[in-house]
Chain A
Amino acid sequence: MTERGASHAITVIVNGERVNRIVSARQLLVHFLRDVLGLTGTHIGCDTGNCGACTVVVDGKLVKSCMLLAPQADGSTIETVESLAADGQLSDLQRAFNEHHALQCGYCTPGMLMSATYLLRQNPDPSADDVRRAIRGNVCRCTGYVNIVEAIRSAVSAGSAGRAAAGAAEEA
């Protein structure tokens, strides 16, 4: 049993790096990532777990980091948007978002990319409807979702080659 207390020593692996910190029990994981670790790619868009801007992957599961307390993540492996182009190369999804103009202000984009990444791990060939269901928890106020759906689908069908040709409408 972890010790009962208002602060806790935690160990997490964030984007491949082991991190040890003392956190306050009331600190949300998203504030830990942003304010303590300086990983500001993970955003905050609401205070009720509805918008998904803070979406990250914890132990292989897609979660909203504003709905978890930092001590709950103790021992976990966390992936944030900063992990997607870790080797400096944009991922297929990141590239597709750029090519399909799937972002405008870019504020929802990190969370959206994490949800899309998770989707493609679960389901390598999603339909347009699968894609829409997969990003149901990520609110975008700029794009009407149209180009986001197209970008994710193009990243599916493209692999690395022929991505440019995959501009067809989602219903096609």
Chain B
Amino acid sequence: MTITKGPGTEQAIRTWSGRSIPRKEDARLVKGQGSFVDDGGVQGQGFAWFVRSPHAHARIVSIDCAPALEMEGVYAVLTGEEARQQCETPFFAIAPPPGSLMAEWPLAVGKVRYQGDAVAVVLAESRETARDAAERVFVEYEPLPAVVDTVAAADPTTPLLYDDAGTNVVWRGVFDYGDVDWALENADHVVKIDRLHFHRFTSAPLECNGAVVDYDLGTGVVNVMSNYQMPMFASMVIGPTIGVPINKFNFVTKDIGGAFGIKIGFFAQIAALALLSKKAGRAVKWTEYRTEHMLTAGHGNERTFLDIEVPVMSDGTILGVKVRAFDDAGAYLHYEPLGAVIWSQVVPGCYKLKHVRVDYTEVVTNKCPTVPNRGYSRMQHLWMIERIIDIVAKELRLDPVDVRKTNYVQPEDYPYRTPNDCVYDSGDLPRSLDIALELAHAEEWRARQRELGTGSGRRIGIGIGSTLDSGTNNFGQSRIINPDLPFSGNGEAAIVKLDLFGEVNVNIGTTPQGQGHETTAAQVTADILGIAPDMVTVSTGFNQANNSYVGFSGTYASQFAVSGLGAVMGAAEKLRHQIVKLAAYALRAAEEEIDVSDGFARVRGDENRAIPFIGLANMVYANNAGLPAELLSEVDLNARYVYVPPFEVPDPVTKTGNLTLTYASQVHVCVVEVDEETGEVTLLEYAAVDDCGRRINPMIVEGQVHGATGLGIAAALYESLDYDASGQLQQPSFYEYHAATALDIPHVDCGSIESASPFTPNGAKGMGEGGGAPLHAVCSAIQDAVGGDGPVVADSHNHWARVHELLHRDPTASRGVAVTSREGPPRVAQS
């Protein structure tokens, strides 16, 4: 689609867009005047505390609430069974059977399925009393064997989480593009990698989840003040279950202290709180604490890749890949199995792989449910592809830079159609790589690495991570999972209005968590209306009663620069048209003669004929007698626009179609030093080159790159969520989960190029998730330090003990990789 531009607008555009103006939202945040969920509340509220299971898997034998209810200051206790009785249906299932039979209710019913599963919720007059009372809700459990191994979960002999489903497999599908069997037969070499494992971790937003829920018994309206990042999704899931129509939800968000996808996952808590509020007849405030967050708020997807086969030609051309993937959804399907298709937005990664077969299985286990986590589902796949590139280079004694450049989608290939019919819009990966290598002084470090040789006890490693940040989903891809789902396309809504005294107000249904929407929306609006961003008030944060929204509204999946700003630009254009029309009438001029600038509409070439915005607003709002009806029917100074990206419905049978509108890319290069004695890894240098098309505010874009890089490095070296055999989480708080600090994350040198997207209203691409590039780059650098004959870096998380093991491998153990070559003796025969 294109935005129709008014006369003179072309010139105005780019006045503010493209500039690193400091953010508008900072003024309140640096003063501690932000409005976060725990900062507020309502009259008469009680405080909620969830009673949670200490077991990973157990049958609930009995729940005794009486001792809690006897305590002074306790208002109510709601149990799982009681909640279920008030529900009309389990939460909406994305999956077809058998996944759809894995029913979830607001609280656990009959059995608990992971450590932290909520069995009841207590309401009391203070936070402290609520917690005290929760300890006096006595639950008798009959423990069941815990299912924690992802691959084993799929085995029919493994105990079941859901008896009704008859299997732990949520969804299975084969994604088969090109002819991988042909490629494997005809390749010069086939590189076989036994196993790669992408670990479980969380971006752990600093603010935990929370909500103030007030079920208004008089009106039937459920008021929800929360830091939920996808309120429409929550409303759609919760509404049918607790019997509340969408228009009786009043979902409101304010400042959100980070989310990264994790805050898509807590609809079950909100549903339980709504029922609790209804039962108690008063508002309910719930503030999640960190331990509860780590145990239950949601983790990123853990994925195991098995039996990877990679056909490669002697010149380093990689023909494709064949792999079995096992993804671990945890105990409940909070957004899954959407992840089972989301990865396929980036089937060939950054490369021209033609023949790809992924046999994908998603299972449930007795672990915390997974939810989208910055880089959702794509980064797992992209990490595997990057591991393949490095391992192929290593095994065939090729330069990893050459292998990348040989196989990258080239600048002249765009728009590039992938084997599954996704369209990569634009980019220049080889140049991005060159810039990153230079920023990281890769050549100098390569020389230093050679100089260091062996015997010093220290090793240098240089690593590369190329990645994609696909943005603006086509929700039609959900039909590849379940053809009956009523979703496709995407969109966002905005209202730009001229208010009574001439103020310009932008209203969007997005839920920013630090991405600077107030600033960038003001920038694009300012350009179109010919004013300064300071003169634009942007009301962000979802508000079901007041804001405009569509079913996809929210902030997720790297899309604001496209869908959010597309909506704002469209609405601003519409308002500009109205202003021009009104001014033409007021100034007795032709519409073509009107310029809009500096808060005035003027007749071009006649400085005496101008009217300020306040004058125009007055004509419509407060002084409209005598205005022609025809004008009033077209001009209300409230312009709503819905941006809808151009998508078709994908084909669920062939699993093909354009699944996302834009593909930002990032290439990272890092240099590590590894201590041979201990396995400790120190980052010596880090460079990231970003290409997200036209940047509306480069400083904000760079901030997103820094942030995604920080979290990626943290995950690669410091942050991991592990369960023991009985399903107990080993890192249930920040005491055990080492949230990386300023001493752990190095300075990041940033470079950028701007390959404008031909498909978006402003040439921008969504970005921010970052595609997990640091995981790719750090693993690549460790692999480089381990050296050519060493084992494969097979895990995305490499703590010191694991690196130590890579360096001091038992010589009789498998290296995890083998190469077979088609004719003559293999160039490098080893296993």
Instruction: Report if A and B associate in a common complex.
Output: yes
Q: Check A101–B38 contact: CB distance below 8 A.
A: no
A residues 53-86 near B (Cβ < 8 Å) are 53, 80-82, 84-85
Best-buried of A24, A27, A144, A149 by chain B (most CB within 10 Å): A144
Q: Check B30–A46 contact: CB distance below 8 A.
A: no
CA–CA, A131 to B33, complex, Å? 25
A121 part of interface (Cβ distance < 8 Å): no
Q: Check A51–B747 contact: CB distance below 8 A.
A: no
Q: Check A144–B745 contact: CB distance below 8 A.
A: yes
Residue of B nearest to A129 (CB): B743
Q: Check A132–B742 contact: CB distance below 8 A.
A: yes
CA–CA, A51 to B22, complex, Å? 26
Contacts of A143 in B (CB 8 A): 703, 706-707, 710
A90 part of interface (Cβ distance < 8 Å): yes
Q: Check B747–A94 contact: CB distance below 8 A.
A: no
A residues 5-61 near B (Cβ < 8 Å) are 24, 26-27, 31, 34-35, 39-48, 50-51, 53
Q: Check A141–B27 contact: CB distance below 8 A.
A: no
Interface class of chain B by DSSP:
loop
The minimal Cβ–Cβ distance linking A16 to chain B, given in whole angstroms, is 15
Best-buried of B260, B711, B747 by chain A (most CB within 10 Å): B747
CA–CA, A47 to B707, complex, Å? 23
Q: Interface residues of B, CB < 8 Å — how many?
A: 60
B741 part of interface (Cβ distance < 8 Å): yes
B residues 690-748 near A (Cβ < 8 Å) are 699-700, 702-703, 706-711, 713, 733-735, 739-743, 745, 747-748
Q: Check B742–A42 contact: CB distance below 8 A.
A: no
Residue of B nearest to A50 (CB): B734
Contacts of A80 in B (CB 8 A): 32
Q: Check B30–A169 contact: CB distance below 8 A.
A: no
Contact partner of A105 (CB less than 8 A), chosen from B208, B514, B702, B739, is: B514
Contacts of A84 in B (CB 8 A): 30-32
The minimal Cβ–Cβ distance linking A135 to chain B, given in whole angstroms, is 5
B281 part of interface (Cβ distance < 8 Å): no
Interface string of A131-160 (1 = CB under 8 A from B): 111011111111111111100000000000
CA–CA, A130 to B798, complex, Å? 28
B675 part of interface (Cβ distance < 8 Å): no
Known contacts: A50-B735, A105-B258, A135-B742. The answer to whether A113 contacts B291 by CB under 8 A is: no
Q: Check A98–B707 contact: CB distance below 8 A.
A: no
A127 part of interface (Cβ distance < 8 Å): no
Q: Check B258–A90 contact: CB distance below 8 A.
A: no
Q: Check A105–B257 contact: CB distance below 8 A.
A: yes
Q: Check A81–B710 contact: CB distance below 8 A.
A: no
B266 part of interface (Cβ distance < 8 Å): no
A123 part of interface (Cβ distance < 8 Å): no
B residues 499-558 near A (Cβ < 8 Å) are 513-516
B205 part of interface (Cβ distance < 8 Å): yes
Q: Check A145–B26 contact: CB distance below 8 A.
A: no
Contacts of B711 in A (CB 8 A): 141, 144
Contact partner of B748 (CB less than 8 A), chosen from A81, A136, A140, A144, is: A144
B204 part of interface (Cβ distance < 8 Å): yes
Q: Check B735–A48 contact: CB distance below 8 A.
A: yes
Contacts of B747 in A (CB 8 A): 128, 146, 149, 169-171
Q: Check A47–B291 contact: CB distance below 8 A.
A: yes
Q: Check A103–B39 contact: CB distance below 8 A.
A: no
Q: Check A94–B290 contact: CB distance below 8 A.
A: no
Interface string of B4-38 (1 = CB under 8 A from A): 00000000000000001011011101111110101
Q: Check B290–A141 contact: CB distance below 8 A.
A: no
Q: Check B703–A104 contact: CB distance below 8 A.
A: yes
Residue of A nearest to B515 (CB): A104
CA–CA, A90 to B33, complex, Å? 13
Q: Check A108–B206 contact: CB distance below 8 A.
A: yes
CA–CA, A149 to B743, complex, Å? 11
B289 part of interface (Cβ distance < 8 Å): yes
CA–CA, A48 to B204, complex, Å? 15
Contact partner of B290 (CB less than 8 A), chosen from A39, A45, A137, A147, is: A45
Contact partner of B513 (CB less than 8 A), chosen from A34, A105, A128, is: A105
Q: Check A106–B748 contact: CB distance below 8 A.
A: no
Q: Check A98–B26 contact: CB distance below 8 A.
A: yes
Query: Which bucket holds chain A's interface residue count?
Result: 35 or more
The minimal Cβ–Cβ distance linking A153 to chain B, given in whole angstroms, is 11
CA–CA, A46 to B259, complex, Å? 15
Contacts of A46 in B (CB 8 A): 290, 733-734, 739
Known contacts: A98-B23, A106-B29. The answer to whether A133 contacts B743 by CB under 8 A is: yes
Q: Check A139–B206 contact: CB distance below 8 A.
A: yes
Q: Check A139–B707 contact: CB distance below 8 A.
A: no
Contacts of B206 in A (CB 8 A): 43, 45, 51, 53, 105, 107-108, 139-142
Interface string of B201-240 (1 = CB under 8 A from A): 0011111100000000000000000000000000000000
Q: Check A94–B703 contact: CB distance below 8 A.
A: no
B residues 121-160 near A (Cβ < 8 Å) are 127-128
CA–CA, A45 to B256, complex, Å? 12
B749 part of interface (Cβ distance < 8 Å): yes
Contacts of B516 in A (CB 8 A): 104
The minimal Cβ–Cβ distance linking A37 to chain B, given in whole angstroms, is 12
Contacts of A104 in B (CB 8 A): 258, 513-516, 703, 707
Q: Check A85–B742 contact: CB distance below 8 A.
A: no
B255 part of interface (Cβ distance < 8 Å): yes
The minimal Cβ–Cβ distance linking B678 to chain A, given in whole angstroms, is 21
Q: Check B742–A145 contact: CB distance below 8 A.
A: yes
Residue of A nearest to B750 (CB): A146
Q: Check A105–B256 contact: CB distance below 8 A.
A: yes
Q: Check A136–B742 contact: CB distance below 8 A.
A: yes
Contacts of B514 in A (CB 8 A): 103-106, 142
Known contacts: A141-B711, A144-B748. The answer to whether A106 contacts B257 by CB under 8 A is: yes
Q: Check A106–B25 contact: CB distance below 8 A.
A: yes
B residues 751-809 near A (Cβ < 8 Å) are none
The minimal Cβ–Cβ distance linking B175 to chain A, given in whole angstroms, is 33
Known contacts: A46-B733, A148-B742. The answer to whether A81 contacts B31 by CB under 8 A is: yes
Known contacts: A136-B743, A142-B258. The answer to whether A103 contacts B29 by CB under 8 A is: yes
Contact partner of A136 (CB less than 8 A), chosen from B25, B203, B741, is: B741
Contact partner of B30 (CB less than 8 A), chosen from A35, A50, A53, A94, is: A94
Q: Check A40–B739 contact: CB distance below 8 A.
A: no
CA–CA, A113 to B734, complex, Å? 21
Best-buried of B39, B710, B742 by chain A (most CB within 10 Å): B742
B residues 228-276 near A (Cβ < 8 Å) are 255-260
CA–CA, A34 to B287, complex, Å? 13
Contact partner of A48 (CB less than 8 A), chosen from B27, B31, B733, is: B733
CA–CA, A143 to B433, complex, Å? 23
Residue of B nearest to A134 (CB): B742
CA–CA, A24 to B73, complex, Å? 16
Q: Check B207–A97 contact: CB distance below 8 A.
A: no
The minimal Cβ–Cβ distance linking B555 to chain A, given in whole angstroms, is 11
- 23 residue pairs bridging A and B, Cβ less than 8 Å apart: A27-B128, A31-B127, A41-B31, A42-B32, A44-B289, A45-B206, A45-B208, A45-B257, A48-B734, A48-B735, A82-B31, A84-B30, A101-B20, A106-B25, A106-B30, A106-B34, A107-B206, A132-B743, A133-B742, A141-B710, A142-B514, A145-B745, A146-B710
Known: A109-B29, A113-B30, A142-B258. 9 other contacts (CB 8 A): A41-B31, A98-B22, A103-B514, A104-B258, A105-B206, A139-B206, A139-B740, A145-B710, A145-B745
Which 5 interchain pairs have the tightest Cβ spacing?
A41-B32, A144-B710, A104-B514, A107-B257, A106-B29
Listed in ascending order, the chain B residues whose CB lies under 8 Å from chain A are: 20, 22-23, 25-27, 29-34, 36, 38-39, 127-128, 203-208, 255-260, 287, 289-291, 513-516, 699-700, 702-703, 706-711, 713, 733-735, 739-743, 745, 747-749
